[in-house]
Amino acid sequence: MASVLIPLAPGFEDMEATTLVDILRRAGIEVVTAGLTPGLVEGSRGMRVQPDANLDDVLGRDFDMIVLPGGMPGSEHLQNDARVQSLLKRHAAAGRYTAAICAAPMALAAAGLLDNRRITGYPGMVDRLTIPGAHYSGAPVEIDGRVVTSRGPGTALDFALSLVELLAGRARREEVEAALVRA
């Protein structure tokens, strides 16, 4: 079974985080939410979440993917947290997936993971970053090698389903998507 780490920083985007956790778990993917701080973590819209673990407790574990929900100031916390930056670099160096939505690609950029890539993110936030060789497409979801980015709350479902497809295959994505009754 594939495994995913979702770090939760104070001020995370509520809809993005809950959509990611829900869809990935529906697909049978192991999801571990980890708080940057002990105890409940409050999202940007006031939702309070009890993470599965404290980030310090999972630092030595390897995951197939690290996914960063956006939101402010959550994305800034992810960008400025040395533990998160170290995890991102280590996972990328090992050829594992890193993914971020909304403003959170700024944390991937800080780790040097967006250089020379096709990226997307929250309009007016990520596209203003200076990232060497990056091409900001504005697409709902961009997959460039082992780096996945997405625009914002409105693209969270498409982003999550894209991650399911990468980790569990097209057939599993279609099963999960069919059960959602999107069309």
For residue 13, what is the domain's CATH number?
3.40.50.880
Domain that holds residue 13: 3-179
pLDDT at res. 126: 80
| Positions marked active-site | 102
Measured between alpha carbons, how far is residue 154 from residues 16, 34, 109, 121, 170 in Å?
9, 24, 22, 11, 22
Residues 39-57 have pLDDT tens digits of 999 999 999 999 999 999 9
pLDDT at res. 182: 83
pLDDT at res. 71: 96
Residues of the chain with pLDDT under 50: none
- Whether residue 24 contacts residue 160, with contact meaning beta carbons closer than 8 Å, is answered with yes
Structural domain total, the chain: 1
Residues 60-79 have pLDDT tens digits of 999 999 999 999 999 999 99
Task: Write out the DSSP string of 62-127.
Answer: --SEEEE---TTHHHHHHH-HHHHHHHHHHHHTT-EEEEETTTHHHHHHTT-STTSEE--STTTGG
Question: Residue 44: what residue type?
Answer: S
pLDDT at res. 150: 98
